Amino acid sequence: MQHLLNLVALLGRLVLAGCRQVGGVTLFALEGLSHLVRPPFYPRLLGRAFLEIAYFSLPVVALTAVFTGMVLALQSYSGFSRFGAESAIANVVVLSITRELGPVLAGLMVAGRIGAAFAAEIGTMRVTDQIDALTTLSTNPMKYLVAPRLAAGIVAMPLLVVVADILGVMGGWLIGTTKLGFTSASYLTSTLNFMQAGDVVSGLVKAAVFGFVIALMGCWSGYTSRGGAQGVGAATTGAVVAASILILALDYVLTAMFFGL
Amino acid sequence: MSGTPKIRLRGLTKRFNGKPVLDGVDLDVAAGEGMVILGGSGSGKSVTIKCILGLIRPDAGTVEIDGRDVLSMPRREREAVNDRIGMLFQNAALFDSLPVWENVCFKLLAQKRITRSRARDKAAEVLAQVGLAPSVGDLSPAELSGGMQKRVGLARAIAAEPDIIFFDEPTTGLDPIMGAVIDGLIVDVVQRLGATAVSITHDMASARRIGTTAAMLHKGSIIWTGPAASLGETGNPMVDQFARGEREGPIQMELRR
């Protein structure tokens, strides 16, 4: 009986800790967002965060998209040839890339790069008193550190996903035309005829949400880190893991919402 | 003490995980005074000044600055009070993403009280006051030695000409000569600005150099207040043991087993 009670108590503590965490992140996000519309603004910091996400993540996102498009074309050919549907490869590639793989894979790549970088930078500032120093210098740390990163995440991710969409489709085109016997014109015509604006827009909305989540988890993990180098390390890992899981979970929710399933 | 104290603490209490760190701290600091708060590691010195600065919210008690309770003030008024406060952190806490000149003029730039082009000249001016060459302004904090970082931290604390300055362990990690240099700079800038200074330290030589008045914090309470010059000969056995660094006496180090 006592073991059962201990188990229930443990579960209760875990649920309470989870609720505290969710509540803390939610309040943090709301405060961060509220600073996006209240002056003073820090355009230099916004620019720096935007550059960090959009420009410096471009190579890794581009490579991921190209190879994904290439693999997708090969796999689709291999599978679809069993029932004579090879002609649908261009359609499958564009649909998969724009709706799902573009935003999700770009999100996961950026979560690894940017979520970790934000958590490490802000976490180091926390454990070296730099965040307290901001407060003593009449500067709100949420406004200075968090709001520009959230804004940059929301704006930069859709731009990255536009690039990922184009390069993903081009990866499929490359394999389609060099290995699978498509002509360039037929592959691209098939792609453009099948693609709908809604496919691209839903992917871009997902990208904006993922960008917000990546920046949020990076900032939150860093801001709440404790205990020196070990704490910053844990915050960095936590930011990447939390952002990645949230991206996958939100991807399901948004897909169900957009396509009414 | 005549008139309203610059800083007045009454019944300041703070617990962390149920453990009392501050247990009813009462302290008055007069305008223009150089108060040094002494105490062993973990005695609550840093928590006390973080409560005054608004970095930690106490569980109970009041913090008055110029007779006004800053804990019950609206946020904007509190920010206005903080505008008149400078702080030198123990490890200087310089922003490593910014060059030294931007660190020094951070508050002035953040409040748009100065343009970026004028800020470089202003930084050079303030750096000179702490004995650093103007060329240091273009370096990044990571390129500075510990002593230089403290000087830049001091320059940042005084750049906006505050009327209250806090110093958290200003000589920790420095050799004795550099410690004396930093103390000398602190005394000079505080006198020149006519500011009220509150320092926390367990360096007795530093306490005597920068303090006019001292207070001893022990187990979360102020147990003695008096002239800094009398440290070691106060007649209070706890303060005298601490000031002389004696192993035997009423203060016993708590060892965790």
Ordered mean pLDDT values, 10 residues apiece, chain B (257 residues)? 84 92 94 92 90 93 94 88 92 94 94 90 92 94 92 93 92 85 88 92 89 92 92 88 85 65
Query: What residue in B sits closest to A133 (Cα-Cα)?
Result: B93
To test the contact with chain A by mutation, choose from B47, B57, B97 the residue with the greatest count of A C-beta atoms within 10 A, namely: B97
Report cis status (omega within 30 of 0) of the bond before A43. Answer: no
A144 contacts in chain B (CB < 8 Å): 110
Q: Do B83 and A138 touch (CB under 8 A)?
A: yes
Q: Could you tell me if A2 lies within 8 Å of chain B, comparing CB atoms?
A: no
CA torsion B40→A124→A224→B10, rounded to 10°? 30
Taking a contact as any Cβ pair under 8 Å apart, which residues of chain A between 9 and 68 contact chain B?
A: 40
Tell me which of A129, A139, A140, A143 to substitute to probe the interface with B (most B C-beta atoms closer than 10 Å).
A129
**Contacts across the A-B interface (CB distance below 8 Å):** 48
Measured between alpha carbons, how far is A62 from A41 in angstroms, rounded to an integer?
A: 31
Task: Give pLDDT, residue B43.
Answer: 86
Q: Which residue of B has its CA nearest to A41?
A: B110
Rounded to 10 deg, the angle between the B146-158 and B116-129 helix axes is: 120
* B93 to A130: CB separation less than 8 angstroms, yes or no: yes
Contacts of B112 in chain A (CB under 8 A): 40
Q: Are B208 and B184 in contact (CB under 8 A)?
A: no
- Give the model's pLDDT for residue A87: 82
Preferred mutation among A137, A138, A139, A149 to probe B, highest tally of B CBs within 10 A = A137
CA A230 to chain centre: 25
Return all residues near A35 (Cβ < 8 A) that are at least 6 apart: A140, A142, A143, A146, A147
Of A148, A152, A168, A174, the closest CA to residue A106 belongs to A168
CB–CB of A160/A54 below 8 Å? yes
Q: How far is CA B39 from CA B36, B189, B199, in A?
A: 10, 25, 11
Q: What totals of helices (H) and strands (E) does chain A contain, helices first?
A: 12, 0
pLDDT of residue B257: 46
B94 torsion bin: left (phi>0), alpha (psi -120 to 50), beta (else): beta
- How much is the pLDDT for A168? 96
Mutate to test the interface with A, among B106, B108, B166, B172 (most CBs of A within 10 A): B106
Residue A61's region, left for phi above 0, alpha for psi from -120 to 50, else beta, is alpha
Q: What is the pLDDT of residue B255?
A: 59
Question: Which residues in chain B are closer than 8 Å to A121, comparing Cβ atoms?
Answer: 97
Characterize B18-33 residue by residue with b for buried, 16 or more Cβ atoms within 10 angstroms of its Cβ, and e for exposed: eeebbeebebbbbbeb
If contacts are CB pairs under 8 Å, which of residues 202-261 in chain A contact chain B? none
Partners of B55 on chain A (C-beta within 8 Å) are 132, 135-136
- Which residue, chain included where needed, has tokens 């998209």? A65
Instruction: Say whether B86 and A136 touch across the interface (CB within 8 A).
Output: yes
Nearest to B93 among A121, A133, A144 (CB): A133
The yes/no answer on whether domain B1-84+163-257 falls in CATH 3.40.640.10 is: no
Do the chains contact at A135 and B93, CB–CB below 8 Å? no
**C-beta atoms of B110 and A132 within 8 A:** no
3-state secondary structure (DSSP) of residue B92: coil
Any chain B CB within 8 A of the CB of A193? no
**Helices and strands of chain B, counted as H and E runs:** 9, 10
> Which whole-number Å values give the CA distances from B93 to A135, B138, B141, in the listed order?
12, 18, 9
Residues of chain A found within 8 Å of residue B79, distances taken between Cβ atoms: 138
A181 vs A175: CA distance, rounded Å: 9
Q: b/e for B169-192, b at 16 or more Cβ within 10 A?
A: bbbeebeeebbebbbebbbebbee
What DSSP string runs through A18-79?
Answer: HHHHHHHHHHHHHHHHHTTSSS---HHHHHHHHIIIIITTHHHHHHHHHHHHHHHHHHHHHH
Pairing label, strands B19-29, B221-227: unpaired
Judge whether A86 and A190 are in contact, CB under 8 Å: no
Nearest CA in chain A to B168: A129
Query: Measured at the alpha carbon of residue A133, what is the angle toward residues B171 and A155, in degrees to the nearest 5?
Result: 150
Within 13 Å and on the Cβ side, how many CA atoms surround B241? 13
Q: Is B163 helix (H, G, I), strand (E, B) or coil?
A: coil
Interface test with A, best of B16, B87, B154 (most A CBs within 10 A): B87
Q: In chain B, what are the domain boundaries?
A: 1-84+163-257, 94-161
* Burial of A230 per CB tally in 10 Å (0-12, 13-18, 19+): exposed
Residues A141-163 have pLDDT tens digits of: 999 999 999 999 999 999 999 99
Q: Are A212 and A153 spatial neighbours (Cβ–Cβ below 8 Å)?
A: yes
Backbone angles phi and psi of A197, in degrees to 5: -55, -40
Kindly list the averaged pLDDT for each block of 10 residues, start to end, along chain A of length 261.
90 94 95 92 93 95 96 92 84 94 97 96 95 92 96 97 96 95 93 91 96 97 92 95 97 91 61
- Out of A125, A128, A137, whose CB is closest to B107? A137
C-beta atoms of B93 and A40 within 8 A? no
Nearest chain A CA: its distance from B255 CA (Å): 21
